[in-house]
Amino acid sequence: MNNPDFSLYLITALLPLSAFLLVIQVNPFHALVIRGILGAIATLVYAILGAGDVALTEALMGTLLAITLYVIAVRSSLVMKLGVLETDFQKETQASISTEEKEKKDLFLLIISNFKKIIRKYYLRLELLSYKDINNLEKALQEKEVHGICFPINNNIKNNENLDNKNLYETIFRIERLYEIISQENSNVETNLSYVNIKQNKEEN
């Protein structure tokens, strides 16, 4: 194409613009959408310039396959796994009454609701994993099956004199960043928070 028209220049100019928008995105899901737009624009430019094979490769590999893999990676990584007791897990999954009514009746549901509100700001979702007793909860934390555990203090087999007795639940995190995020709004989560370094504890033992 010896005399490219103005539309080609306009479409080509969208490449750096979409790339810039992609870089400044905070929400990972918005970034995936813009990445798809970027790939579509690149495919269109290649096709207009007569590089059909390159356009097809970009559409299939650079856009479709790449975005699919990104979606899987983002979906699996942006999750906070919290271990809870089976009795508490059943309260969360009960659907016979509304969420607002359940929160008023049970402190645990209020804690979980506040956790969800806090981590939503960081585009995380909360996944609850249930365990039979506190021993299994602590084992799951040690073996890194979960990022944290939440349990009633009176069920804890390890007495801790430093606990704030006004809160009936304790939440322990093994991820320092998650602990910092939740701690920033400690007054709103209605639970005692603590952080444990699993690696350091194993080295000491």
Query: What is the predicted pLDDT for the residue at 105?
Result: 57
pLDDT at position 83 over 60: yes
Our count of domains for the chain comes to 2
Residue 143 falls inside a structural domain: yes
Query: What is the predicted pLDDT for the residue at 94?
Result: 67
Which of residues 76, 107, 132 is at a domain's end?
76
Do residues 44 and 85 share a domain?
A: no
Query: What is the predicted pLDDT for the residue at 161?
Result: 45
Q: Outline where 78-155 has alpha helix (H).
A: 86-93, 99-105, 107-120, 134-142
Do residues 130 and 176 share a domain?
A: yes
Question: d(Cα 61, Cα 65) in Å, to the nearest integer?
Answer: 5
Q: Tens digits of per-residue pLDDT, 113-172?
A: 899 999 988 889 999 999 999 999 999 999 999 999 999 986 444 444 444 445 589 999
- Measured CA angle at 197 (ends 142, 199), to 5 deg: 65
Do residues 72 and 85 share a domain?
A: no
Residue 139 falls inside a structural domain: yes
**Please, how many CA atoms are within 13 Å of residue 104, restricted to the half-sphere of its CB?**
5
Do residues 49 and 64 share a domain?
A: yes
Do residues 15 and 112 share a domain?
A: no
Range of the domain at 53: 6-76
Residue 137 falls inside a structural domain: yes
Do residues 72 and 82 share a domain?
A: no
Residue 28 falls inside a structural domain: yes
Please write down the long-range contacts of 153-159, taking CB distance under 8 Å and 24 or more positions apart. Answer: 153/192, 155/85
Do residues 94 and 67 share a domain?
A: no
Question: d(Cα 90, Cα 45) in Å, to the nearest integer?
Answer: 54
Question: d(Cα 188, Cα 118) in Å, to the nearest integer?
Answer: 9
**Please, how many CA atoms are within 13 Å of residue 102, restricted to the half-sphere of its CB?**
18
Do residues 197 and 99 share a domain?
A: yes
Query: What is the predicted pLDDT for the residue at 203?
Result: 59
Do residues 34 and 90 share a domain?
A: no
Do residues 48 and 132 share a domain?
A: no
Q: Tens digits of per-residue pLDDT, 17-75?
A: 999 998 998 888 888 899 999 999 999 999 988 888 999 988 888 888 888 888 888 87
pLDDT at position 205 over 80: no
pLDDT at position 104 over 70: no
Do residues 85 and 152 share a domain?
A: yes
Residue 126 falls inside a structural domain: yes
Do residues 91 and 168 share a domain?
A: yes
Residue 1 falls inside a structural domain: no
The amino acid occupying position 187 is: S
Which of residues 37, 53, 76 is at a domain's end?
76
Residue 113 falls inside a structural domain: yes
Q: What tokens appear for 5 in the block?
A: 């028209």
Which of residues 47, 76, 105 is at a domain's end?
76
